[in-house]
Amino acid sequence: MPQFAANLSMLYPELDFLDRFEAAAKDGFKAVEYLFPYAYESHELAARLQAHDLQQVLFNAPPGDWDQGERGLACLPGREAEFRTGIAKALAYAAALNCPRVHVMAGLLPAGMEREALRPTYVGNLRWAAAEAAKQGVDVLIEPINTRDIPRFFLNRQDHAHELIAEIGAPNVKVQFDLYHCQIVEGDVAMKIRQYLPTGRVGHFQIAGVPERHEPDVGEMNYPYLFKVIDEVAQQCGWTGWVGCEYRPSRGAQPGGTSAGLGWMKANAKASP
Ligand SMILES: O=C(O)C(=O)[C@@H](O)CO
Ligand SMILES: [Mg+2]
């Protein structure tokens, strides 16, 4: 069975954010990820990780003005200075949290602009971020996201992400392969795991049921099968990364709802050799 990380932005919604670390550890998670650490001092977060014997495996760089609908700055001409300031801040947190990867969200297509016109800005920004991250051994992740959840998001498809990575040309830029988004945008998920995991360009997986983004055992995807595919290919190519549980518990913020919904994880652990 793959190793699962709890996404603390989505799991345990009934708890204060800092209390979600303990809840995840009690449920057997050894690692966590979340969207943004910036509302907290890095030492506070590091203390929670240490107290509960958890690894921080992923978080996002600052996305611009999230409350105003921004979803990353990487593709936006004219925002390069802000992009660089955000990357520097993310890398400072990555050092303090001993986190080996940072997700850099691409951003939304500005009104009237075509995707191709933004490519030079995106590639230039990612090259700069990759060079900075490489100085401290951090990987920069890029994630294709479906346009039902984020309309006009710049990056939607696995093939586009891998094409951009080839153009960026930095060994520490990798794909955050979210199977939920992949199923919605393009499907054929198992074959895409088989195609892309051996390239060494997949840095992290994320999972959720489709279409409601609930537990992996709710909805149209056959996750027990996909976990076996990940295990098989990972073993063949020596991949040792994490699978982030980035879903909204179907029991909502009901106390204990996240833990009660983890039957899928226990079932897959039992099924593994
Ligand atoms: O939405 C997702 O999927 C993510 O992984 C986030 O980091 C970006 O919104
Ligand atoms: Mg994701």
Evaluate: CB of 145 within 6 angstroms of ligand 1: yes
SS (H, E, C) 138-162: CEEEECCCCCCCCCCECCCCHHHHH
Identity (one letter) of the amino acid at 257? G
Ligand 1 atom closest to the CA of 149, numbered from 1: 1
- The answer to whether 73 and 86 have CB atoms below 8 angstroms apart is yes
Q: How far, in Å, is the centroid of ligand 1 from the Cα of 163?
A: 20
Mean pLDDT of the chain: 97
The range of the structural domain enclosing residue 197 comes to 3-271
Q: How far, in Å, is the centroid of ligand 1 from the Cα of 273?
A: 31
Evaluate: CB of 35 within 6 angstroms of ligand 1: yes
pLDDT, residue 268, reads 81
Structure tokens at 102: 């940072």
Ligand 1 atom closest to the CA of 244, numbered from 1: 5
Count of structural domains, the chain = 1
pTM of the model: 0.97
Place of tokens 């498809």: 157
176-224 pLDDT, tens per residue? 999 999 999 999 999 999 999 999 999 999 999 999 999 999 999 999 9
Q: Of the residues 143, 186, 212, 215, which is catalytic? A: 143
Cα–Cα dist 27/6, whole Å? 9
The CATH number covering residue 256 comes to: 3.20.20.150
pLDDT, residue 32, reads 98
The answer to whether residue 70 scores a pLDDT higher than 70 is yes
Evaluate: CB of 207 within 6 angstroms of ligand 1: no
To the query of whether residue 143 is one of the catalytic residues in this protein, the response is yes
Cα–Cα dist 54/256, whole Å? 20
pLDDT, residue 273, reads 55
DSSP string, 70-126: --BSTT-TT-HHHHHHHHHHHHHHHHHHT--EEE--B-BPPTT--HHHHHHHHHHHH
- The answer to whether 22 and 52 have CB atoms below 8 angstroms apart is yes
Evaluate: CB of 206 within 6 angstroms of ligand 1: yes
77-91 pLDDT, tens per residue? 999 999 999 999 999
The percentage of residues in the chain with a pLDDT greater than 90, rounded to a whole number, is: 97
Residue nearest to atom 7 of ligand 1 (CA): 35
Ligand 1 atom closest to the CA of 176, numbered from 1: 5
Ligand nearest to the CA of 106: 1
Quickly state the pLDDT bin for 270 (edges 50, 70, 90).
Answer: confident
pLDDT, residue 272, reads 67
Cα–Cα dist 75/21, whole Å? 33
223-256 pLDDT, tens per residue? 999 999 999 999 999 999 999 999 999 999 999 9
Cα–Cα dist 174/12, whole Å? 28
Pairing state between β 202-207 and 55-60: unpaired
Cα–Cα dist 209/221, whole Å? 6
Cβ-based burial of 181 (10 A; exposed 0-12, middle 13-18, buried ≥19)? buried
Quickly state the pLDDT bin for 160 (edges 50, 70, 90).
Answer: very high
pLDDT, residue 271, reads 73
- The answer to whether 52 and 21 have CB atoms below 8 angstroms apart is yes
- The answer to whether 227 and 217 have CB atoms below 8 angstroms apart is no
Q: How far, in Å, is the centroid of ligand 2 from the Cα of 187?
A: 16
Residue nearest to atom 1 of ligand 1 (CA): 145
- 3-state DSSP assignment of residue 44: helix
pLDDT, residue 229, reads 98
